[in-house]
Structure 1
Amino acid sequence: MGLIWLRHPVLWHSSRVAGGYNYNAMTAEERKLLVARWHNWYTADWDYAQTTVIFFCTAIFVAAVLNKLAWLHGRNLMHVARNRPGFGDKLTAAMRYATARQFYLGLTRWYTPPLAAVVGVCGMSIFILALMFSARPFYWPNEQMGHSPPLATRSGWIAIAIMPFMIAFATKINFIGLVTETSHEKLQVFHRWSALFMYIASLVHTFPFIINNVALGIMESQYAKSPWYWSGIAALIPQTYLILMSWGIFRNQYYETFKKLHFIASGIFMAALFIHVNFRLTSWDYFWATLALYGLAWLTRVVRTLYTTGFGLPSTIESVGPNLVKISIPIQGRFSWAAGQHVFIRVLGLGVHALTSHPFTISSIAEKDKVVELVLRARGGLTQALQQRVAGKASWSSRIVLDGPYGGLHAPLPLERYERVVFLSGGTGTTFTLPIFRDLLPKLTEESVLKRISFVVAVPDADNYAWMGPHLAAATASHGDTVDIRVHFTRSGDADIPSKDDESDIHNANPEGVAYGRPILGDIIREAHASASRVAIVACGPDGFLYDVRNSVAGCELDIADGFGVCRDLFLHTETYSW
């Protein structure tokens, strides 16, 4: 027996046999319109929902092809000698310009996603709005043609078809990311915008019913006797909350609370929406697809976490500088990672914070260190609780569950196949660049293609530099002029200036490796671009730091696209503090 709020008997799909129409009250033109494609209520799921699915699948396929072409072009560069950029180099540079270029809206203090993501979001919006509003009419000219206005019908199917992709963009084990070779955090922008477009489609679905029923004088009676009206409102309220509270001004400031309430509101929304669509045509198929995508991703995470770290690994947590905490987790066997990857951690001994997990980049190397090291800055929530727990102590021990690893560096070529590699780090962004730098150093030999590595880091003062200093000094001691380290201390004042001993620890072979003030990132990137045929830039830092890096690289990509200079291949990889 079906539930009382579902139509009986409960089925997988409802019938496509048209019924309930008074054809005698319609004109010939109205009867023809009623069964025409893009207007027929009984084929609206094929016309609109399947068309939406095809659009998203096509966009994902195109992104995967473009990524594969960039990979093939990079491989081809190893075998083709040329002094100037060729056609393939120029085309690749033009595409990389789009993935690098970024904008800043000063009025809202918002750093936009890269231009390529902006184009993708704009394409998504144009398609969805065109699909909703291109067909006419929006309302039936005759009330005998049905109480579901065409505009409401089509927008409802578009909204339901967006749902599986919106969820798929959000998962950590990300199937779209596997196809497009993109880490899960870089797809968050599409999760947020597809959720917004689903909400817009939901609103367009809702209001024509209200307008139509008010005009017919049946609004109160429909709401009183139909479960579809109250279930629609029950879905729209949490959906409104999810959209409003996901904007950065709320999400970033109250992230701990946001994350918990986000899952609760999502559950209520999905349950109410499941009841609302009431197995009309193929509507529940999109729920099964969503459940399969999310459920398989979640199950994979849980099984992998239990297999690699069980119910937690012993760890040591200590303070390593002003507002800096280091977590050391000895690894025994099953857990492995690559330089530049990150994990989500759950600290079991931290009270209520044990209920949440947060991402941090692994700053150690698997082959060398045999220990997962995480260096994090206390900002609030979990990080602040960890800082308070180790304050005034040599260290503190707790069991930690590791979920991951995720992300990492996805370059068309191994970094040792580039002639010049530049690492740019802002503050704790060094936790991403440092392990990749250390992993690359042994590959810098006289026979290798790689001729020079630069490591530039900007930190407030010597105390913030202390935790990374020994790693840099040890890693670069035997490479002479082929490796240069530049440390920029961005705070002014005598108390922040390191001693001569500190300077010598930064780089014994480079006494001029210390500077004061912010690095001029554009000059560093342009110098590297002018010095070699193949250049890789790896950067991690705050939004403003990466904004300068991205746009400087974008300018150099335009030079390659125009055929200027000796550089034929300029690769950029960036990591952000948060997403």
Structure 2
Amino acid sequence: MDSLLHARMSQDPSAGTYYNGHYVPTSAEKTAYQSTHEPWASSVKYGYYGLYFFAVTIFIAILFNVHFKILQRRSLAVGSTSQSLTLQDKFYALFRLLAYPRIPISVNKFISPWYTAGNQGQTLLLAAGFLFTTLYCFADTYNYRPPFYGSSPLGLRSEWLAMAMLPFLIVFGHKINFIGTLIGSSHEKMQVLHQGVAGLHLYMSLVHTISMTIRSNRERGINYDFHHNYAYWTGFVALAPLIWLCCASLPIFRKAAYECFWILHLVAVGVYFGFLWLHCWKYLDGGYYMYATFAVFGWGVVLRVAYMFYVNLHVHVARVHVTSSGMLHLSIPTKLRWSPGQHVFLRFLSVRPFESHPFSITSIPSGNDQPSDMSFFIVPMKGFTSSLKEYCKRAGGRRDLFVLLDGPFGHTTPELRAFDNALLIAGGSGIAYILPVFQDLVRCNKGEVSAKTRCSKIELIWVVRSRAQYQKMEKHVSETINEINDGGVSVGFFVTGKDAGSEGVESKSSSDDDLVNDMKEKSLSKALPANWHTGRPKLLDIIRERSQTWEGRVAVTTCGSESMISDVSNAVAGVQIDILRQRTTCKEMYLQTDAYDW
């Protein structure tokens, strides 16, 4: 921007004269002044500071992930370990105490329409980013030069910090996410960071815009610069789609019309990139940041398209069936391999072909190289799933449809095999994620596959509104545990709806304590079928009780509503305090969560 001003100095106003009461320096005078007052050319260092922040943070996360993977492998190889609490166990407990807690649902219900809050670890990380950028921008109080002596130092600091975020902002949003792979986080978990960094990018962009506008008004005026300096008008035009992107991405708007948002999101990104390129590519490192951004964006698109092409070399046909309870059951014969807990994006060529949506795979692949049935159980909601249901009902409730698969994606759960105990908690249709995890652990427990496991106790808790609504999936759960002949596997079903008693569900006491005690007595007994209970389970008490009766390493996995994930996360975080105080029989409690959406 300063170079353009240099070119106009001889026109209006003239160098060496006064304009609106302010002296207009010559180029030499301006250079001499800036040499001792944050030179314009040296402002790029703030972008480097931003890059260092990302690099160090990601490197630390990689070290944690590598250490965790090594620990899992060692746990499987060694088998039983000492029950005494080590310094490493205490460190993990302290780390999880900081990372696992979530905002209570009583508070989050007011926040969630406007912001998707992750766990406390993600929130602290984004807060650190906010603090870092704020301090680097505002700790130095030299924010504006005298009129006509150059760009606002505050505007330059915020400019380069914003530019440094841009490549990472794009990478965090990729489905095939190499940073997520390195740090052990799936793409849906990275969405919290993608949205958070987008907010920080907007924050720095607004600081840059406001400070540069103030600088302009102290000289010729924003109207003059808007019409005579293309860096100004391109900057304002670029800011408009950025503001739209961040506002439209708020959950209250995104969830109301996701299909429309997705298309407009891509258009807005294209407009933003185009005008941002015009705005900054000539200035110092601006072009390099744009090249890096275009490179990672293009790489992500090419890799995604190539992967999708490879996955669909074999034509896939989905057998879609509308069940008596109104759910959709999909079965897709495929040669693809996937891991428990993963999901795929489905695109039906005959039903809204320009849309693809993620669904959890509720089956596990066969133990050999033969084709497997990739199964899905879907609760129809508004939008795509409703259209798919109506399309099938017009053909009598069953259809064979061509489908394009994109995936599988998501966090895999084989590492749960390295734990001594596993507590799996599903809420409603969250069983679609939990069921294959449960099946995999049971299959390993029974020795049906060659995979190693040390998980000797497996407990499944499934909370539903209506027993009839999920009878189809209840059958799959029952089949999984039907041949278990020891007390290592137990299942408890909880029906919370008003119709629970009318469906032949065993009547229980309305007391929560009686409910929990009844579950402990029945679900842990040997060779019992799955037990049904009425009312809501006290998850906090159940999780704490398991920490005081189970030994070794415990894994807790949950998928359900925001309130369930919040309750389970906070309960597991509370156990970390008990571990540090040595009030538990378990030496470690690990948590893995999966939400309905993101």
Common fold by TM > 0.5: yes
1:60-139 map, 5 Å? 60-75=58-73, 79=78, 81-104=81-104, 105=107, 108-110=110-112, 112-139=117-144
Kindly state the Cα deviation for residue 338 of structure 1 after the two structures are TM-superposed: 1.1
Which of residues 38, 46, 49 in structure 1 aligns to 2:47?
49
Kindly state the Cα deviation for residue 406 of structure 1 after the two structures are TM-superposed: 0.7
Name 1:34's counterpart in structure 2.
34
Kindly state the Cα deviation for residue 270 of structure 1 after the two structures are TM-superposed: 1.0
Q: In 2 relative to 1, CA 124–524 (structure 1 residues): closer, same or farther, beyond 3 Å?
A: same
C-alpha separation in 2, matches of 1:532 and 1:63: 28
Q: In 2 relative to 1, CA 489–566 (structure 1 residues): closer, same or farther, beyond 3 Å?
A: same
Matched to 1:241, the amino acid is W
Q: Deviations over 1:448-476 (max 9, x none)?
A: 63322111111121222212122112211
C-alpha separation in 1, matches of 2:324 and 2:32: 75
- Where relative contact order (Cα < 8 A, 6+ residues apart) is larger, the structure is 1
CA RMSD of aligned residues (A): 2.9
**SS at 1:216 equivalent:** coil
Which of residues 134, 146, 152 in structure 1 aligns to 2:155?
152
Q: In 2 relative to 1, CA 554–499 (structure 1 residues): closer, same or farther, beyond 3 Å?
A: closer
C-alpha separation in 1, matches of 2:59 and 2:500: 56
C-alpha separation in 2, matches of 1:438 and 1:293: 38
Q: In 2 relative to 1, CA 378–445 (structure 1 residues): closer, same or farther, beyond 3 Å?
A: closer
Q: Deviations over 1:127-162 (max 9, x none)?
A: 111111122311103x3422x211112211111111
Residue pair 1:26, 1:144 contacting (<8 A) in 2 also? no
Residue pair 2:343, 2:409 contacting (<8 A) in 1 also? yes
Residue pair 2:345, 2:405 contacting (<8 A) in 1 also? yes
Aligned residue pair count: 551
Matched to 1:308, the amino acid is V
Name 2:521's counterpart in structure 1.
none
C-alpha separation in 2, matches of 1:395 and 1:44: 64
Q: In 2 relative to 1, CA 74–312 (structure 1 residues): closer, same or farther, beyond 3 Å?
A: closer
Which of residues 212, 216, 227 in structure 1 aligns to 2:215?
212
Which of residues 440, 451, 458 in structure 1 aligns to 2:456?
451
Name 2:383's counterpart in structure 1.
381
Name 1:467's counterpart in structure 2.
472
C-alpha separation in 2, matches of 1:129 and 1:202: 12
Kindly state the Cα deviation for residue 515 of structure 1 after the two structures are TM-superposed: 0.5
Q: Deviations over 1:497-523 (max 9, x none)?
A: 2478xxxxxx99425711111222122
**SS at 2:218 equivalent:** helix
Residue pair 1:132, 1:151 contacting (<8 A) in 2 also? yes
C-alpha separation in 1, matches of 2:420 and 2:60: 30
Name 1:4's counterpart in structure 2.
none
C-alpha separation in 1, matches of 2:69 and 2:577: 20
Name 1:504's counterpart in structure 2.
none
**SS at 1:355 equivalent:** coil
Matched to 1:487, the amino acid is F
Q: In 2 relative to 1, CA 272–473 (structure 1 residues): closer, same or farther, beyond 3 Å?
A: same
Name 2:340's counterpart in structure 1.
339
Kindly state the Cα deviation for residue 434 of structure 1 after the two structures are TM-superposed: 0.6
C-alpha separation in 2, matches of 1:32 and 1:91: 54
Give unpaired runs (5+ residues) of structure 2.
Answer: 10-14, 17-22, 507-524
Kindly state the Cα deviation for residue 52 of structure 1 after the two structures are TM-superposed: 0.8
Name 1:372's counterpart in structure 2.
374
Q: Deviations over 1:295-349 (max 9, x none)?
A: 1122112112111213851111111254421211111x3x221111111111111
Kindly state the Cα deviation for residue 496 of structure 1 after the two structures are TM-superposed: 5.0
Kindly state the Cα deviation for residue 66 of structure 1 after the two structures are TM-superposed: 2.1
**SS at 1:400 equivalent:** strand
Q: Deviations over 1:399-432 (max 9, x none)?
A: 1111111113357xx3333221111111111111
**SS at 2:93 equivalent:** helix
Residue pair 2:158, 2:208 contacting (<8 A) in 1 also? yes
Kindly state the Cα deviation for residue 68 of structure 1 after the two structures are TM-superposed: 2.5
Say yes or no: does 1:478 pair with 2:497: no
Q: Deviations over 1:99-125 (max 9, x none)?
A: 321113257153731111011010000
Residue pair 2:186, 2:410 contacting (<8 A) in 1 also? yes
Name 1:302's counterpart in structure 2.
305
Residue pair 2:349, 2:403 contacting (<8 A) in 1 also? yes
C-alpha separation in 2, matches of 1:402 and 1:224: 50
**SS at 1:145 equivalent:** coil
Q: In 2 relative to 1, CA 421–218 (structure 1 residues): closer, same or farther, beyond 3 Å?
A: closer
Q: In 2 relative to 1, CA 231–512 (structure 1 residues): closer, same or farther, beyond 3 Å?
A: closer
Q: In 2 relative to 1, CA 50–511 (structure 1 residues): closer, same or farther, beyond 3 Å?
A: closer
Name 1:571's counterpart in structure 2.
590
Matched to 1:349, the amino acid is S
Residue pair 2:361, 2:376 contacting (<8 A) in 1 also? yes
Aligned-residue identity in percent: 28
C-alpha separation in 1, matches of 2:81 and 2:441: 24
Matched to 1:137, the amino acid is Y
Matched to 2:311, the amino acid is T
Name 1:421's counterpart in structure 2.
422
Residue pair 1:48, 1:158 contacting (<8 A) in 2 also? yes
**SS at 1:559 equivalent:** helix
C-alpha separation in 2, matches of 1:196 and 1:86: 40
Name 1:543's counterpart in structure 2.
562
Give unpaired runs (5+ residues) of structure 1.
Answer: 1-6, 8-13, 501-506
Which of residues 500, 521, 544 in structure 1 aligns to 2:539?
521
Q: Deviations over 1:335-394 (max 9, x none)?
A: 2211111111111111xx211111111111111681111111112211111121123623
**SS at 1:425 equivalent:** strand
C-alpha separation in 2, matches of 1:533 and 1:32: 68
Residue pair 1:418, 1:534 contacting (<8 A) in 2 also? yes
Say yes or no: does 1:555 pair with 2:574: yes
Give the TM-score taking structure 1 as reference length.
0.88
**SS at 2:323 equivalent:** strand
Q: Which runs of 4+ in 1 moved over 4 A?
A: 17-33, 73-80, 445-448
Name 1:249's counterpart in structure 2.
252
